[in-house]
Structure 1
């Protein structure tokens, strides 16, 4: 974006602000309440939303329930600029805000905080941890989505933004509720919360949430749905519990403790084959079989897949204890000590690409597991029984000052986060081969039953193309920071803010990796090291299978044990000014530096697993306005421009037979490389108005333009002599250089709620609707130049709800809801393997409907 474009963007933002100021000035003398008096904690203190110079989207508990939202993945659909990567299902979702995407094996760009503490970290081979799983979204005050780098005041450094989950605190009243829901796909959900003031100085709040629903994906394969037979894929089954306590230890000393626990166990979600490219070459094996798979699934409708795994599942367990001690030392000084300990464990057994390719000569309906060949499958291995297992200890000491008349305010503190492994965690992977027991590599090489070999002339000989590998590891993280931020009111209407933070990050990994390729040539080497006496090594191949399995120590097994480390450090800062030309109008501008730590792509090729830090400079200007009167409402707008340097990209590192130095004992893999330079700009606007009593209308729009400007391909050491660029060569078109998975360029969220003018004795009857539009968006780089197969189509989703509160003046609420009313076909994630003959995708949920009854008691 050139200088003129930047100037135009900032000028448009300023114009909108003064235009809204004029509207506010005409209506401010009326006594109608503002429609946006929402309290947020975006700056670590309670403030009115319209007084915070940060772009924020707030989703309250009512909106979560009306849209049948039980996980954070669905919150993104209601928030322009907020996108998700759901490759590993709802339990293991990663988030993107304003185009800042998290590659696999890199660190989260979006921090998820519960009660002011970052979520327990994950460290496994698959995504997991670092977020909010099912069950985290009940009994909340709200969910706050903070956009842009938040590295000054918040614990872990993140470049994209932060999501704050604010739980309901215990109150002074004896109160609570019991709630039950039922819906299609045999959905049942129950919630219960009770709040008890045990004394004038001690109060307790406890709650539980359970949801059970069968899957929306029909399995067209013959190998079972997974651990829960008959439930289907895409099912939901979780328990969540929370206990909160507040004790007033002294008039100026408060102790707030929260315990939370979540357990989720489902069959998981796998991709659906959405395109096939049949042919006669070896590379078209999956193309031919994918075409046959599409034909078999067609009679079952759009929401059908073919699962080849007998034990497909996604299991996660997380618990966390948070204690916040607040000492109001004086009217001008508050001291907070925050201490938290949590653990996350996960098991992910999923087919990553959705292939159900029958080997030649096998008849559909008679196949066994060893006769179904897929592209890649991830599975826990018998040594670890989990793909993620990590503990998180977080400590923060915070000082907040407001001396004198409040002209000068400040915050300062220290932060420490210590993450340790809970034993080994790891994954078994089977690629291009069929298995009956993937964890133990009870797999049959496809060449043994007539499967294809590599083409003549490649020097690779006759092989199955099948690989088996397992990796397990222990990883430690250490994160420390010091920070300070202060605001000074130059005048009653102009405030300047500056903040500085310095962070030290460490990552230490002990890695064990085994890789086998069934072939006639010498052993495959991916990692370039051999250490058969590495501490902790246990082969997952069962003794009974040792004699016959091609994936054993006696059959071309490469083994590696390594100790790896990576340290990074960096300053981050904020310089900001906000100006209030009139009451209820704020104009602000800021420059912030964001930083994402470097680390280790532990399953990447040796010796290039380490990668360095990534930095971003973010420039933002915005306005927040609200007005009262006959038509109260608010209008907020912001524009931003971000530059990324040393960008962490996931690139394929390969061994190209056409390149000098090629060796047949080399096998590539994906890794993270600091190769990118990008720029992201866009703007967001949201409007809410109440045209007349009982009607509330909300409209939000977001635009993102995220471009990868330059990729510097580094020189890699032998035997790795080829790097796959992140976009295909020769790609042309509007979205050619769009950063993959940066989110839809255009997103619109419109909602309306109308409360019918019934007598108070009847109750409060409200009907509402939410409409979400997402434009075409690039999910992955095209495997074939300019094909567009990595671009998801646009989608339009309509949700409806109706609530009858205080039925006949009783403490009973009745609700009905329906999501995706039109059964829109939504593509959430794409795997573009055109070169292998297919494209697959994770598809969103179909129409869901249900009813809910809630009984409230107490005050």
Structure 2
């Protein structure tokens, strides 16, 4: 019954625009409201959005600018089914989730992978890598559902593709400057230089400075130096990004493109205490006065840090072997230095709790990926196919004097203040082979089958030093620790392998209507719990994804309309989830496998042009998520920590064989998400275009982790004296639903040239809303990160 209801949206799509399909009208070439203008690469080749049997939301650079999208959190407002969470409550760590699947705190890899120029970007947990870039792009594409067969890292939730603008044969470029409140300053530019008949160079850059919209009260005691801290501003922007792309035609059939890009930032971010938990030392210590102003907080950590620096080199070579077969190789190297989650105050309070101070050296992460593809068509172009192989490796320093110091946590032991220092090295190597074939059985019916097999090798070393009572500066090297210092040196190697595959069919009802459906099997590798805890490691997760959808274009008003819908039913096996634990006296995150969970719902989007002065765009997502089987594996360990007299009482409510956590709602799931945008525009006799662009977005609440109603037994014992804790009932561990309103006005083609002026405001109503949180309410406080307040801006741009 439920399955029928969820897929009713797909059936309705056949009825709603039925009258429009009776008349065939050639596609127009206008950008807004015209599906034929949107080119995507979801199947590793350029195709019209409406011809691809995959749920996709795509944006051009013009659309990104109109929506003021310059961060991943901005992107989430406009994409159905996409949640971007502030990882660990830190807005500098955006984590993508699609349809409820994403990066869960501490997991070896996310369920959603980001790609830049076909190169995967996600690093090991909170280690720096190349962040997504939102300037000078050809497109941004959000792909829903498992994408593991054609994309390099197996992703069970989806993929986000960033496609940079490449060189063209014409001289040109643009400059865009913006200013606004909070000392907001943006400068973006690109220059396209033809280099003779066979080469082109494109140079682009982006600079963004904005004062932090959150500040501390000042005067808090920095417990690493025992000196007062000044007023600190954070949630700022201090970013520089540079990119150069050289494209060379080496003959009629050989093309080579090389991208060199660099990213640097000094962004500062942290959690802030939102809701203290009564009866806990940390909760009792939070000053009530800080809750009067969401832009004011009290921290005990110095957030100052050096600039992070990441550069990448991406080389793509395409060799047209014949008119129907081409060879493509994508090689990339990324080297990143930065601080990940450091420094920050995870608990958001001005007393020692979970305080991450700056490591003694920046974290270093290196990534090399090479992918070889052979693409072609056969059988008189009735069979399109692609086969390939991938080598993907991530390397971090392992020598004692260079190993990454991933966390410096300051807190209290029974003897007084102490440090907990974690040295960590993660090394990942993955190899995979893949293939996909689409057979056009008739002019209307196409059948697709695809598969990838992956072999993953993981090596891990973790050195944990705690209760050391020695100065922080004396712990730069685990091999020279003072005698008697308590530490753990853990490590090992694991190997995983698995299949991803899919089978699908699509049918062209008409030139303007595509119906499709199928089945996908997704796989994601397992990994280590590097700091120990109750589980040493965790296994792979898989998903069975059933989907059915419809894409349609139709004449509407002054132009073309688009209506797309897809229903999905996903069953996850051994999904990777996390919870807080203790190991060696330190707070750790443990990843476990949940046997069975279910996600079901539908995405829909539309674009219409009712008149020559109005364009409307909108989307909606519904996701219903449940745990089917979620046993608590921590009961035995929890019981062993209790006094003998209390153990039988505890076991009555926590049976060893059936202590179920399935009552918890899955984290990072918006049950409802809506975005609507209008573009009112008119052209004056002088050729100047005036446009007014309002947009409204709404998302229902989501939870920060998977223990909002009932904790694991080990957490109840460690953090709540063995008693249960329901954070949901307390209104904690969640981002409440909210609505945001943005406005933008434009004057384009001024002075007879490509000069444009724009003014806009985001978060017009100055709404207080939560981007994400650490999910540490059990520890004593609900620590969250708030989104930006009302931001007002004006900009000027010039194209030449």
- TM-score normalised by the chain length of structure 2: 0.88
Provide the residue aligned with 1:332 in structure 2.
Answer: 324
Residues 1:400 and 2:375 aligned together: yes
Provide the residue aligned with 1:453 in structure 2.
Answer: none
In 1, the alpha carbon distance for the partners of 2:449 and 2:85 equals 34
Provide the residue aligned with 1:241 in structure 2.
Answer: 242
Q: Kindly tell me: are residues 146 and 252 of structure 1, through their superposed partners in 2, closer, same or farther at Cα, counting changes over 3 Å?
A: same
Residues 1:52 and 2:46 aligned together: no
Provide the residue aligned with 2:352 in structure 1.
Answer: 374
The answer as to whether partners of 2:219 and 2:229 remain within 8 angstroms in 1 is no
Residues 1:744 and 2:648 aligned together: no
Written as runs of structure 1 = structure 2, the 5 A alignment for 1:219-618 is: 219-223=216-220, 232-266=233-267, 268-278=268-278, 283-290=279-286, 293-296=287-290, 298=292, 301-313=293-305, 315-347=307-339, 348-356=342-350, 373-382=351-360, 385-386=361-362, 388-422=363-397, 423-433=402-412, 463=414, 467-516=418-467, 541-542=472-473, 553=482, 557-605=485-533, 608-618=535-545
The answer as to whether partners of 1:312 and 1:350 remain within 8 angstroms in 2 is no
In 1, the alpha carbon distance for the partners of 2:105 and 2:610 equals 46
Q: CA deviation at 1:288?
A: 2.7
Q: CA deviation at 1:682?
A: 1.0
SS class of match (2:611): coil
Written as runs of structure 1 = structure 2, the 5 A alignment for 1:93-172 is: 93-106=94-107, 107-119=109-121, 121-123=122-124, 126=126, 128-129=128-129, 132-133=131-132, 136-172=133-169
Which of 7, 31, 41 in structure 1 is aligned with 2:4? 7
Q: CA deviation at 1:322?
A: 0.7
Provide the residue aligned with 2:567 in structure 1.
Answer: 639
Q: CA deviation at 1:559?
A: 1.3
The answer as to whether partners of 1:575 and 1:592 remain within 8 angstroms in 2 is yes
In 2, the alpha carbon distance for the partners of 1:179 and 1:544 equals 47
Provide the residue aligned with 1:815 in structure 2.
Answer: 758
Q: CA deviation at 1:777?
A: 2.3
In 2, the alpha carbon distance for the partners of 1:720 and 1:667 equals 19
Provide the residue aligned with 2:176 in structure 1.
Answer: 179
In 2, the alpha carbon distance for the partners of 1:847 and 1:351 equals 25
Q: Kindly tell me: are residues 473 and 271 of structure 1, through their superposed partners in 2, closer, same or farther at Cα, counting changes over 3 Å?
A: closer
SS class of match (1:651): strand
In 1, the alpha carbon distance for the partners of 2:427 and 2:751 equals 58
| 1:543-594 alpha-carbon deviations (Å, 9 max, x no partner) | 599xxxxxx856x732122331111100110100001111110010010011
In 2, the alpha carbon distance for the partners of 1:672 and 1:249 equals 49
Residues 1:209 and 2:194 aligned together: no
Provide the residue aligned with 2:646 in structure 1.
Answer: none
Q: CA deviation at 1:853?
A: 0.9
The answer as to whether partners of 2:144 and 2:157 remain within 8 angstroms in 1 is yes
Q: CA deviation at 1:833?
A: 4.8
Q: Kindly tell me: are residues 277 and 10 of structure 1, through their superposed partners in 2, closer, same or farther at Cα, counting changes over 3 Å?
A: closer
In 2, the alpha carbon distance for the partners of 1:832 and 1:337 equals 42
Written as runs of structure 1 = structure 2, the 5 A alignment for 1:695-714 is: 695-714=614-633
Q: CA deviation at 1:472?
A: 1.0
The answer as to whether partners of 2:533 and 2:582 remain within 8 angstroms in 1 is no
Query: Which 5+ residue runs of structure 1 have no aligned equivalent?
Result: 357-372, 434-444, 446-462, 519-538, 546-551, 656-664
The answer as to whether partners of 1:270 and 1:305 remain within 8 angstroms in 2 is no
SS class of match (2:169): coil
Provide the residue aligned with 2:576 in structure 1.
Answer: 648
SS class of match (1:250): coil
In 2, the alpha carbon distance for the partners of 1:620 and 1:199 equals 48
Q: Kindly tell me: are residues 116 and 71 of structure 1, through their superposed partners in 2, closer, same or farther at Cα, counting changes over 3 Å?
A: same
SS class of match (1:806): strand
| 1:165-217 alpha-carbon deviations (Å, 9 max, x no partner) | 01111000010112211110011111121101010001100011101110000
In 2, the alpha carbon distance for the partners of 1:563 and 1:110 equals 27
Provide the residue aligned with 1:194 in structure 2.
Answer: 191
| 1:442-494 alpha-carbon deviations (Å, 9 max, x no partner) | xxx6xxxxxxxxxxxxxxxxx25755211112221101100110011111111
Q: Kindly tell me: are residues 819 and 729 of structure 1, through their superposed partners in 2, closer, same or farther at Cα, counting changes over 3 Å?
A: farther
Q: CA deviation at 1:219?
A: 1.3
SS class of match (1:643): strand
Q: CA deviation at 1:381?
A: 2.8
| 1:653-699 alpha-carbon deviations (Å, 9 max, x no partner) | 459xxxxxxxxx87673311123421001111111100001311011
- TM-score normalised by the chain length of structure 1: 0.82
Provide the residue aligned with 1:87 in structure 2.
Answer: 87
The answer as to whether partners of 2:347 and 2:776 remain within 8 angstroms in 1 is no
Q: Kindly tell me: are residues 21 and 53 of structure 1, through their superposed partners in 2, closer, same or farther at Cα, counting changes over 3 Å?
A: farther
In 2, the alpha carbon distance for the partners of 1:641 and 1:570 equals 21
In 2, the alpha carbon distance for the partners of 1:467 and 1:645 equals 41
Provide the residue aligned with 1:20 in structure 2.
Answer: 17
In 1, the alpha carbon distance for the partners of 2:769 and 2:783 equals 13
Q: CA deviation at 1:308?
A: 1.4
Q: Kindly tell me: are residues 481 and 177 of structure 1, through their superposed partners in 2, closer, same or farther at Cα, counting changes over 3 Å?
A: same
Q: CA deviation at 1:81?
A: 0.6
| 1:235-267 alpha-carbon deviations (Å, 9 max, x no partner) | 11011000001100011111111111100112x
Provide the residue aligned with 2:784 in structure 1.
Answer: 841
Give the number of aligned pairs: 750
Root mean square deviation, CA, Å: 3.0
